[in-house]
Structure 1
Amino acid sequence: MLDDLDRRLLRQLQADPGQSMAALADRAATTPSVASRRLARLRAAGVLRGTRAVIDWRALGWSVEVSLRFTLDKTQPDAFDAFLAAARAVPEVLEIQTFLGSVDARLAVIARDMAHYQRIYRERILTLPHIADIEALMHVARLEEREALPL
């Protein structure tokens, strides 16, 4: 599906998404018009979904990250849908994942400090519907974080 030029363009775009089309084309060894057409084709194919700003929430004073794993009461037919809809409404939830197995869902939650996390937990997390069990994992360190694919 991807040829060498596509891979070069995507590698360069991952490395610096804010660069100009001319710089991107130069680094990928092509012309700006060819690079533009290729990126448009990759967007149309759904390979390239967009570019985004990545904001370091720690630099803005959010110092606590907790991973919450949920087991839901699956005796209720709408348990997943109701839980996910309510979880999406919590602004401090950065990520929602669902699983097959003993854990049904995981939420990544951030807070300014432990007192703020306790308020979020009591007022927003514990009020989510259809919870049978919660396990909290406090993040201590992020040893590696990658967003770039090995193209």
Structure 2
Amino acid sequence: MLDDTDRRILRQFQAEPDLSAQGLADRVGLSHGACWRRLEKLRGSGILKGQEAVIDWRALGWAVRVSLRITLDKTRRNAFDAFLEEVRKVPEVLEIQTLLGRVDIRLELIARDLSHYQTIWRDRILTLPHIADIEALMHVADIKSVDELPL
């Protein structure tokens, strides 16, 4: 699947995603063309999905992050689909994850402050369809948050 050169490319790309193609090639010991071909192969196989801007939401004035664990009323036909359709419309929801176990869905959302969170909670979250149970967990601190894979 991946050889040592592919892993070196991915490690360097994770560490510095805005590195030029030539800079990446130099770091992994390949010609520009060979490095570009390997990057295209990694993209084509779905291993490398692209690059994205990482924006610090706190720097933009968002101060509250909450994780919501939601159990749906599964006796209702299409409860998941109806819930997911509506929750996607809530702009403050940054992540939606479906889970196996007692909890069906986890949402990660942000708010400007506690008053704003209360408004989102009351007007947008509690009005979502088919919620049987909900638990809110207020984010306090990041202890470890890593996006890099151990390659």
Shorter-chain-normalised TM-score: which range? over 0.9
Letter in 1 for 2:92: E
Alpha-carbon distance between aligned partners in 2 of 1:28 and 1:40, rounded to the nearest angstrom: 16
Superimposed CA distance per residue, residues 63-92 of structure 1 (whole angstroms, 9 cap, x where no aligned partner) = 100000001000111000111111111000
Is residue 138 of structure 1 aligned with residue 135 of structure 2? no
Q: Which residue of 2 aligns with 1:74?
A: 74
TM-score, reference length from structure 1: 0.98
Letter in 1 for 2:59: A
TM-score, reference length from structure 2: 0.98
Q: Which residue of 2 aligns with 1:147?
A: 147
Q: Which residue of 2 aligns with 1:100?
A: 100
> SS at 2:95's partner residue?
strand
Give ranges in structure 2 of 5+ residues lacking alignment.
Answer: none
TM-fit CA distance, 1:124: 0.4
Q: Which residue of 2 aligns with 1:117?
A: 117
Alpha-carbon distance between aligned partners in 1 of 2:29 and 2:58, rounded to the nearest angstrom: 37
Letter in 1 for 2:76: Q
Give ranges in structure 1 of 5+ residues lacking alignment.
Answer: none
Q: Which residue of 1 aligns with 2:8?
A: 8
Is residue 24 of structure 1 aligned with residue 21 of structure 2? no
Superimposed CA distance per residue, residues 26-47 of structure 1 (whole angstroms, 9 cap, x where no aligned partner) = 1111111111000000111111
> SS at 2:74's partner residue?
coil
> SS at 1:62's partner residue?
coil
Equivalent pairs counted in the alignment come to: 151
Letter in 2 for 1:129: P
Percent of aligned pairs with the same amino acid: 65
TM-fit CA distance, 1:100: 1.1
TM-fit CA distance, 1:23: 0.5
Aligned-residue CA RMSD in angstroms? Answer: 0.6
Alpha-carbon distance between aligned partners in 1 of 2:89 and 2:45, rounded to the nearest angstrom: 31
> SS at 1:74's partner residue?
coil
Letter in 2 for 1:139: H
> SS at 2:12's partner residue?
helix
Superimposed CA distance per residue, residues 90-123 of structure 1 (whole angstroms, 9 cap, x where no aligned partner) = 0000100111111000100100000000010011
